[in-house]
Homo-oligomer: A and B are copies of this chain.
Amino acid sequence: MSKILLEHGDGGLLTSRLVRDIFLKHLGRPQGPLEDSTIVDSRPRIAVTTDAFVVSPLWFRGGDIGKLAVSGTYNDLVVRGARPAYLTCSFIVEEGFETVQLEALVESLAAEARRARVSVVAGDTKVVQAGQADGLFIGASGIGFIEDARELGVTSVREGDAVVVTGDIGRHGATLMAARLGIKAAPGLASDCHSMTYLLDVACVPGVHCMRDITRGGVVTILCEIAESTGLSIQLDENGVLTAPETSGICRLLGLDPLYLPCEGRAVIFCEERSVPSVLETLRSSRESTGGEPLLDPRRAATVTGTQGIVSMVTMYSGTRRLSSLTGAQLPRMC
């Protein structure tokens, strides 16, 4: 069957063939028979997250919706200091979708799960009529183990903390915008989409207080959220935030600000001043594959400066301006 039919979603014979020939083939079979839920070993404390993935286009330089579903979920767990262990994935497929494309995306999802050492333990597939979805959407949830008494999170952020940004920003957003508008981007422009496995090591560096992955709204929106929820002020140093020339090129062309563009493989790390060298060293020496995108070039990019709950930026010409959350941008379906 070269295309997905409505009957692939009705729970009968074609559904079980689809599950066997595509999902179990690539994601692996559970040891026992398939059941309504899967029983797995756990820990006394776990981190739980969920995301809907609706990225458009489904394939982009540096990744696809399958890889993104794994890495996006992985990153939400690892930034809390949790060791990602299990994923669940539900697929909403539009009738008429090419079976070979579905298989390629499931294969990519499975490959990223292996790379990140997480198991896909439950799944579901629904098929909707042509025109009632746009190709494929994926709902993913993740469970990670908290193996340490220490809990990373915004409540641990302190005045005087340094903020490290793990690499150049805006790649994911710029890559998608170039692809959608059919702009011939520089060969070096690819999404930073990957599972940030090395953050497991960063979480163990003494003095690390909080990590957040930079997604929708970009680095500034993340900092604004943290400033708002903690009441602390954060001062960003424009010279500390890297943007690759190929990202800047697309941004200039389209009038986008890389500070507000989503990433899918970058994080902000709040830590004590004295921990900055260890954090940078841990990031630079990461031996985990990052899927081919440029090596990390982490920088100390901001400081928690006071208690007014605002975010400002010292520009490269030493001016200071106040920053606010993303508002009114037309950047749908970035993840």
Binding site for B on A (CB under 8 A): 6-7, 9-16, 32-54, 75-77, 79-80, 82, 86, 88-92, 95, 121-129, 131-134, 137, 139-144, 146, 151, 153-155, 212-213, 215-217, 221, 225, 229-230, 262, 324-335
Contact = CB atoms under 8 A, between A and B. Distances in A.
Q: Can you list the 5 inter-chain pairs with the closest CB atoms, starting with the nearest? A: A139-B139, A11-B216, A12-B326, A50-B88, A11-B217
A213 B79 CA distance: 36
Contacts of A329: 7, 10, 12
Query: Which residue among A10, A15, A44 has the maximum number of chain B CB atoms within 10 Å of its CB?
Result: A10
16 contacts: A6-B332, A11-B326, A12-B328, A13-B327, A16-B325, A33-B154, A37-B48, A39-B47, A39-B80, A40-B45, A40-B46, A40-B47, A50-B124, A52-B92, A139-B139, A139-B140
A47 B10 CA distance: 24
Given A38-B47, A48-B86, A212-B36, A126 B14 contact: no
Contacts of A7: 327-330
Nearest to A41: B45
Contact of A52 (B40, B126, B132): B126
A contacts with B: majority SS: mixed
Nearest to A51: B124
Contacts of A50: 88-90, 122-124, 139, 141
Given A43-B42, A329-B10, A139 B52 contact: yes
Contacts of A125: 52
B88 A141 contact: yes
B48 A92 contact: no
A317 to B, nearest CB: 27
B42 A79 contact: no
Contact of A39 (B10, B52, B151, B212): B151
A36 B75 contact: yes
Given A42-B42, A54-B92, 5 more contacts: A16-B225, A33-B153, A48-B86, A51-B124, A132-B133
Nearest to A121: B48
Given A11-B221, A52-B126, A39 B32 contact: no
Nearest to A127: B332
A37 B213 CA distance: 11
Given A45-B41, A221-B11, A52 B134 contact: no
A54 B129 CA distance: 11
A35 B134 contact: no
Contacts of A335: 126
A36 B141 CA distance: 12
